[in-house]
Structure 1
């Protein structure tokens, strides 16, 4: 960013602001009083910004300190000096007061900021950060990660900043773990938005943070996320290589729990299913169920694997069969899991309902498939997720041969109704 500002390479500046702060071109345009098309042209390298008033608006809109762009100090920046005029004392100061005053910082800005920057961390601080991560995941399930990303990114950079200071080993390890979780969550929000390049960058950052403290279980978790992304990118070979690496990390960890091993085996099943390997997929599914059957209430499961419960095992088993085209096996499993799934998990319910609709369509159950897909539109409209949108498009394309059938016509009408509500900003159904 420093180099881009020095060169006044605003295309690069805007790209960095988007990638690292989650501020998209439309937001840049509003903040800097530019048109979205002009911002797009700058990012594409088709336009340069040379006028001083425009550069000043960019400095103010994106809060880039003036000196970085060769400008005078901006009015919103911290003033260089503070002038303090003390009141006349009404009585002589006591020796205790004089000693207290001697220990206080001076009135210059540097000393004030140094005092404000002192961060006394405690285990309760780490607990609070973990709680916020759990809340982020809950909100991600309910609404999608697009609107969460700026907050998650800000907290990630805050924690990474804390790691630059001297800490005790337990505190440092705890901060590394939290930073790794935040980086994985950031990567997940990009993955869910199908912005795969950015997702991979943050997953890689999460891997590095976990590796710094030898947290092999969490490294396995991140690699499993990357494997799932590879299946969505239609890169099954990469998916299998990544989940194999994840299982290697899990074996290298001390005390990897059966729940973690079950989750990894199911990701392996997804990779094999995407490759069309029937035998290997069935074997991985069996292994996942075997590990899950060994789960004990005394297991020291990491918090990040708690989502992998019996309902998740069942629905993932159904999806793995569905990926192989085994609709007869897939349909009852996905339907059973969908009945059990929590109502607030809008993205999960939408994804799984579209999977169920696809398997029903494969079995020739057109009416049931369209009815299931119509039910899926409700949670789909409640969450911002490009993955959900992709599943909707795929089902819509599979309906093409049946476009004139009454069930398909009813689904099309309902879909257009929901889309119209979203465009107009009306309350969701």
Structure 2
């Protein structure tokens, strides 16, 4: 275990807090240091020790009497407080997750660096992760190994839907390291294509778990790795899938122009390289979300219509990538409802989302909680306060079984929308349940 004096990763709620994001962007270290104390319990004396600064200097920065402009000091603050470099306009720091592959086509990838720090004692019991099992067995690379790796990815996605990805992430990252080592050992062998594809999916899944936790900087890092891995084998459809994930993240970061650009690039990539109707339907819906974020009604409606046109072209003969099979009729319906809901078109959105929830698999806890939030939102928009609070309470109950900061963030957002009704009994009851569950 790391020593107490070693810097640890900051809480996601701090790194994604709007005030923290803004302070880092402006390099307002007075605000950063105050936020550190308030949200992470890191006091000025600790800041001074971690960043190799004097306590008096830290005090001057906090009070606004002094500014930090020297690049070497800014880098020390980033490293000492574990603020991702990108948040402060720096290159990725050495302690952040390193690049899986350099953007080169000839040289084999290097193994992901192991975390630095004191050596941990050897455990008596081995890890039960797939990578550890295969390594311990000295398994040589065979088609069955590749099938087992692909199967484990499907299982990871299932468990991500059911429980969220926070607890899953260490296992996924460990398996990613293992696959990268296999790529290096395989060289230009017969399994190269499959291994790169598996590594790309594991990198995307890792990025998704960070996105779901609203740790956007780390999510972008892994999405970028997934793009590089897919590019190495010229899998343009999968690159489109990753771009679509990045587009969705941009909608959450309130960057609608970026979201539109990423979704458009995703469609261009897939269209030029044999994108199936289901793939194109999914990508068009991501474009609809992007336009809805900027309240572009006509463009949103056009993208929704294109998604439905593409979906109608799906046949049983299509050779679909495994990563897009989730986009079925139920997903098409609920996403259509959400896109209308983002535009404030509650009369259109509510029946669509309600219908999808009736169809949806009960084991998809995060999806059901997320979609229930949107149903409650549209019900509130239509003035049905009691019904909206009942739906939001059901979403809250489902959310308790899922580790998803994205879902809990939406439920807090719903609570804010109840402000005009704060004295109504149903609103008071929901607030009480929210506090008991999430605080």
Q: Which residue of 2 aligns with 1:193?
A: 213
Gaps of 5+ in 1: 1-8, 19-34, 49-67, 79-114, 424-429
* Cα distance, 1:119 vs structure 2: 4.6
In 2, the alpha carbon distance for the partners of 1:205 and 1:365 equals 45
CA distance in 1, matches of 2:178, 2:364: 29
The structure 2 residue matched to 1:289, chosen from 308, 315, 321, is: 308
Note the C-alpha offset of 1:45. Answer: 1.9
CA distance in 1, matches of 2:340, 2:49: 43
Provide the residue aligned with 1:339 in structure 2. Answer: 358
2:272 aligned to 222, 240, 252, which one? Answer: 252
1:221-370 alignment, distance < 5 Å? 221-253=241-273, 255-370=274-389
Alignment match, 2:437: 418
Residues 41 and 314 from structure 1, CA distance in 2 versus in 1: closer, same or farther, beyond 3 angstroms?
same
Tell me how far apart the structure 1 counterparts of residues 346 and 50 of structure 2 sit (CA, whole Å). 45
Deviation >6 Å, runs of 4+: none
Across the aligned residues of Structure 1 and Structure 2, the Cα RMSD in angstroms comes to 2.8
Q: Which runs of 5+ in 2 are unaligned?
A: 13-39, 55-115, 124-134
Equivalent residue number for residue 428 of structure 2: 409
Could you tell me whether the CA contact under 8 Å between 1:10 and 1:42 is conserved in 2?
no
Corresponding residue of 1:173: 193
Q: CA deviation at 1:413?
A: 3.1
The equivalent of 1:389 in structure 2 is: 408
Q: Aligned partners of 2:421, 2:323: CA distance in 1, in Å?
A: 42
Contact 2:271–2:280 (Cα < 8 Å) also in 1: no
Quote the offset at 1:251 in angstroms: 1.6
* 2:152 corresponds to 1:146: no
Q: CA deviation at 1:148?
A: 0.3
- What is the CA-CA distance between 1:10 and the residue it aligns to? 5.7
* Corresponding residue number in structure 2 for 1:85: none
Cα distance, 1:44 vs. partner?
Answer: 5.0
Question: Structure 1-normalised TM-score?
Answer: 0.73
Shift of 1:252: 2.3
| Deviation of 1:406 (Å) | 2.1
The change in CA–CA distance for 1:44 and 1:222 in structure 2 (over 3 A counts) is farther
Give the conservation status (yes or no) of the 8 Å contact 2:369–2:399.
Answer: yes
**Taking structure 1 as reference, are residues 329 and 119 closer, same or farther at Cα in structure 2, changes over 3 Å only?**
same
The higher radius of gyration belongs to 1
* Structure 1 position 410, deviation (Å): 2.5
Encode CA deviations 1:377-408: one digit per residue, 9 max, x unaligned. 11111101110011001100000110111221
Q: 1 CA distance for matches of 2:120 and 2:313?
A: 63
CA 1:161–1:320 in structure 2 vs 1: closer, same or farther (change >3 Å)? same
Residue in structure 1 matched with residue 19 of structure 2 by the alignment: none
Distance 1:77 1:379 in 2: 39
2: CA distance, partners of 1:368 / 1:296: 39
Q: Distance in 2 between matches of 1:75 and 1:390?
A: 36
How far residue 414 of structure 1 moved from its aligned partner, in angstroms, is 2.8
Pairs within 5 Å for 1:55-204 = 76=121, 119-204=139-224
Deviation at 1:165, TM superposition (A): 1.7
Query: Separation in 2 of the partners of 1:241 and 1:313?
Result: 22
